[in-house]
Amino acid sequence: MELENSFTTIMTAIVPSTADGVRIDFEDSQFGWHTANTSLSLKDSNETGHVIEPLKAIGHVWGPDTLKRGRTYVLVGPFGQDLMTGENVIKYHSATKTEVGTHGADLDDLAGKALVNGLGLLLNVSYAEDPEIEGGWNLTVNAKHEWYDSVGEIMLEFAITYVFGHITPHRSKWGPIQAGATMWLNGTVFKKDPVSNRFIVKYLHVSTCYLQWIGDSGNVDRQPRG
């Protein structure tokens, strides 16, 4: 069951739909799985404009409630990436889909503002000295996430790169942040690495006293931060 997937990351994104949704299952029901082509707007290499990244939206909805071409939506749901095909996917349903208009979205303004939030398994951790950052260090982690393909009934594993920048913890808190640990990760999806094909996320700092979950993969502990 998908609820057992502890490494799901949830995306919230404003996306334009570039095609009408089509049904992809053969269930004898008014509700079924529909897919539609949308796109994410990411920052370009200079971080002054945008680049488009295809995003397939999959929804278990009533036919008339599927996405329509030429409209813009806010979608919230599990996000995933198929490493074999390079396809990016977001799963939604009627309660997590909101139409915001038929006008063309300002893609420069949307660039790098999609959010992801979920528990990840740390694959590797690195600290780079950066004199422009308070504390002098920039933490980067690559974390594994999972996405359940409800149509194909398979689990996909993929990784996201999280850059902490000014939110890098103090050195006294580096101990638990190591490969093999689990960590609650959230941030804005602002770029995609052309070599690794991984999305790059700017880590977000919600407040100075929010709770971050850090622990080994079998036992997640609540750790105060900030």
Where do the H-state alpha helices sit in 51-205?
Answer: 107-110
User: What pLDDT, on the 0 to 100 scale, is given for residue 225?
Assistant: 38
User: What pLDDT, on the 0 to 100 scale, is given for residue 208?
Assistant: 37
84 & 153 share domain: no
101 & 15 share domain: yes
24 & 83 share domain: yes
Q: Please, what is the Cα angle at 100 between 96 and 102, to 5 degrees?
A: 130
77 & 125 share domain: no
pLDDT (tens digit, 9 = 90+) per residue, 104-153? 778 999 999 999 999 999 999 999 998 877 778 999 999 999 999 888 88
56 & 135 share domain: no
Give average pLDDT by consecutive 10-residue segment, the chain, 226 residues. Answer: 67 94 81 92 90 95 89 96 91 93 83 94 93 85 94 91 91 88 93 93 63 47 38
Q: How far is CA 33 from CA 55, 66, 157, 181, in A?
A: 16, 9, 21, 35
Single residue among 42, 75, 109 that ends a domain in this structure = 109
Q: How far is CA 113 from CA 69, 78, 91, 199, in A?
A: 22, 16, 18, 13
User: What pLDDT, on the 0 to 100 scale, is given for residue 94?
Assistant: 92
119 & 100 share domain: no
The model's pTM is 0.86
User: What pLDDT, on the 0 to 100 scale, is given for residue 205?
Assistant: 64
Q: How many CB atoms lie within 10 A of CB 213?
A: 13
Query: What is the number of domains present in the chain?
Result: 2
Tokens of 152: 């194909």
Domain of residue 183 covers 115-203
Q: Are 120 and 199 in contact (CB under 8 A)?
A: no
- 96 is a domain residue: yes
| CATH code of 90's domain | 2.40.50.140
CB neighbour burial string for 9-48, b if at least 16 within 10 angstroms, e if fewer = bbbbbbbbbeeebeeeeeeeeeebbbbbbbbbbbbeeeee
C-alpha–C-alpha distance, residues 206 and 183, integer Å: 15
- 214 is a domain residue: no
User: What pLDDT, on the 0 to 100 scale, is given for residue 9?
Assistant: 96
- 209 is a domain residue: no
